[in-house]
Amino acid sequence: MVSGFVFTSCSSSAVSASSSSTTIGRAIDTGSWTFTVNIIRPQAGRTRQPNGLYTFTYTPGNLNVYLPYFGRAFGTADVVSGENPLNFISKDFEMKKEKIKNGKWRINFIPKDFHQQVQQFSFLIFENGTASLDVIMTNRSPISYNGDISAEKK
């Protein structure tokens, strides 16, 4: 009886992992997904847990960025206004998407509109739905995030 339970439990995990992989792959292919932050990794300082819901949402023709920033500002960075450089919506950006081995994707976004603070968002997405995001900025230190990808409902 116990061995039957263990067998059933293992087989249902395999099915759910496979369906999760298919869902993530479909979301990446169709271009409608959200990255939700679980861990914040500034270039200097300690790793942090988010104290709210922070996301990066991509839908065709639209980036909706709401990420926390911790780091150093250099030169002409707009620190006087107190605005977060990672809180904006962009409709003009370049995207490069590449499927790499072992069920991973690399996706880079380069905002082209009025958001000169960000040079590039670089995602590494795994088929199990986990992802890392590296942000390279113009006048601020880089920052990285770990989190999860979920499909956007259309």
Domain boundary assignment for the chain: 2-151
Please identify, in words, the CATH class of the domain defined by 2-151: mainly beta
**3 state DSSP class of 151:** strand
Residue 122 identity? S
**3 state DSSP class of 128:** coil
Distance CA 52, CA 108 (A): 25
**Residue 61: partners with Cβ closer than 8 Å, 6 or more residues away:** 91
Distance CA 57, CA 16 (A): 24
Q: What is the CA radius of gyration of the chain?
A: 18
Give the confidence band of 24 by pLDDT, cuts at 50, 70, 90. Answer: confident
Q: What angle do CA 127, 132, 134 make, to 5 degrees?
A: 145
Question: What are the pLDDT digits (tens) for 26-41?
Answer: 888 888 999 999 999 9
Question: What are the pLDDT digits (tens) for 58-116?
Answer: 999 999 999 999 888 876 656 555 567 899 999 999 999 999 988 899 999 999 986 67
Looking from the CA of 149 toward its CB, the CA atoms found within 13 Å total 31
Q: Pull the structure tokens for residue 17.
A: 């992992």
DSSP per-residue codes, 31-95: T-EEEEEEEEEESSS--B--SS--EEEEETTEEEEE----S-B-TT---SS---TTEEEESSEEE
Enter the pTM of the model: 0.81
**Partners of residue 97 on adjacent β-strands:** 107
